[in-house]
A = this chain, B = another copy of it.
Amino acid sequence: MTDDDSLEQPPAGLTIVPIGGIPEIRPGDDLAAIIADAADYVGGDVVVVTQKVVSKAENRLVEIDTTDPRGHKAIVEDESVRILRRRGDLIISQTTHGFVCANAGVDLSNVESGQAALLPVDSDRSARRIRDVIRAKRGVDVGVIVSDTFGRPWRRGVTDVAIGSAGIGPILDLRGTNDALGRELQVTEVAVVDEIAAAADLVMGKAAGVAAAIVRGIPSSWMRRGSVADEIVRDPQDDLFR
Complex interface: stretch among A35-43, A121-129, A131-139, A193-201: A193-201
Please give the distance in Å from A46's CB to the nearest CB on chain B: 10
Which A195-223 residues have C-beta < 8 A from chain B? 195-196, 198-199, 201-210, 218
A192 CA / B207 CA spacing, docked (Å): 15
Within A89-118, the residues touching B (CB, 8 Å) are 92, 99-100, 107-113
B180 touches A110 (CB 8 A): yes
CB of A203 within 8 A of CB of B14, answer yes
A203 in contact with B13 (CB, 8 Å): yes
- Asked if B10 and A153 make an inter-chain contact with CB atoms under 8 angstroms apart, the answer reads no
A184 (CB) vs chain B CBs: closest residue: B109
Contact call A234/B190, Cβ cutoff below 8 A = no
Contact between chains at B113 and A210 (CB < 8 Å) = no
Interface on A for B, CB 8 Å cutoff? 8-18, 24, 84-85, 87, 92, 99-100, 107-113, 149, 152-161, 170-171, 174, 177-181, 183-192, 194-196, 198-199, 201-210, 218, 231-234, 239-242
| The residue from B108, B153, B174 contacting A206, defined by CB atoms under 8 A apart | B174
Question: Is the Cβ of B186 less than 8 Å from the Cβ of A233?
Answer: no
Q: Are B185 and A207 in contact (CB under 8 A)?
A: yes
Which residues of B sit under 8 angstroms from A179, Cβ to Cβ? 109-110, 206-207, 209
Name the B residues within 8 Å of A195 (CB-CB): 159-160, 198-199, 201-202
From B16, B108, B232, contact of A16 by CB (8 A): B16
Known contacts A10-B204, A174-B207, A203-B11, A191 near B241 by CB under 8 Å = no
